[in-house]
Amino acid sequence: MPDLPPGVDVLWGRREQAKRGPRPNLSIEQIVDTAIDIASAEGLGPLSMNRVAENLGKSAMSLYRYVRNKDELLQLMTDVSAVKNAPPEPDQDLGWRPNLERWAYALVDLYRRFPWVLHVPLGPTPPIGPGQLAWLDRALACFRRTHLPAEVRIGVVMLLLTFIRGQVRMSQEINLGAAGAAAGYPPYGEMLRMVVDKDQLPDLAALVDEGVFDDPGEGMSDREFELEVRFGLTMIFDGIERLVSQFEEAQ
């Protein structure tokens, strides 16, 4: 029987504790927590094994007694963040749409609380930790009273996952760009006016002239972001609604 990928045993608490040898002075939980603290405060850039060990008052190599890899540490961090911010329990009296909407906005909150999660390179397998699977399960639970076939349910949930992930990530990066505006670059609208040619990019030029790209405030405000996400989610939920009613009629 083949083994599970590294880290999975840890996530599900199936790591057998040592019988011999000195007592461990650290724990994976401590390591992952401090790593999460660093990443949440300063991002993934400054997160190095050295830095984590330093914050724990230990040497860098000591971490490798608990974690095979830096990548494994990142995977653990990702799943633990999903545990720290658990999905809401759907209320089966409410119908699928309000429940799924609550779920979706809770996911947005997760990515806003732990922005670095969006920059963790995906591991060798699809999500398999308890945190991420709990999110998956709660989304699927919203469809209990519908007649959607199994494949469609997953398809819909995956659609929401990728869309929310992409949207939050993009807004993050746009915000980062706004911070770069302090570095001396002109605002986006200005830059576009400098390079966009009316002949080669006519439709874009029209929008630039309308001032659509001229951000009034500093970068993208929380309200603007909310609107952008809500816009996309509404469109997607409308599509799901059509799908659900199709399979309801077929019943």
Partner DNA sequence: CCCAAACTGTTTATGCCCTACACGAATTGG
Partner DNA sequence: CCAATTCGTGTAGGGCATAAACAGTTTGGG
* Residues between 70 and 89 with contacts to DNA, criterion CB under 7 A: 70-71
Contact (CB, 8 A) for 39 and 33: no
Could you tell me the CA-to-CA distances from 19 to 15, 16, 61, 137 in Å, in that order?
12, 9, 22, 36
Q: What is the smallest separation between the CB atom of 21 and DNA, expressed in angstroms?
A: 2
Counting residues that bind its own copies (by CB under 8 A) gives: 75
46 binds, among its own copies, DNA, none (CB under 5 to 8 A by kind): DNA
Helices (H) and strands (E) in the chain, counts: 10, 0
CB of 122 to its own copies, least distance (A): 4
**Chain centroid to CA 136:** 13
Q: Looking at 5, 69, 185, 235, which residue binds DNA (CB under 7 A)?
A: 69
Using rule CB under 8 A, residue 4 touches its own copies:
yes
CA 46 to chain centroid: 19
Q: Which two tokens stand for residue 221?
A: 């405000």
> Is 242 near its own copies (CB under 8 A)?
yes
Q: CB 130 → its own copies: shortest distance, Å?
A: 8
| Contact set for its own copies, span 123-182 (CB under 8 A) | 123-126, 128, 130, 133-134, 136-138, 140-141, 143-144, 150-151, 153-155, 158-159, 161-163, 165-167, 169-170, 173-174, 176-177, 180
Which DSSP helix (H) or strand (E) runs through 161?
Answer: helix 150-181
- Give the Å distances, CA to CA, from 139 to 96, 99, 114, 236: 9, 8, 20, 15
Residue closer to DNA, measured from CB, 150 or 183 = 183
The contact set with DNA (CB under 7 A) reads 18-26, 46-51, 53, 58-62, 64-66, 69-71
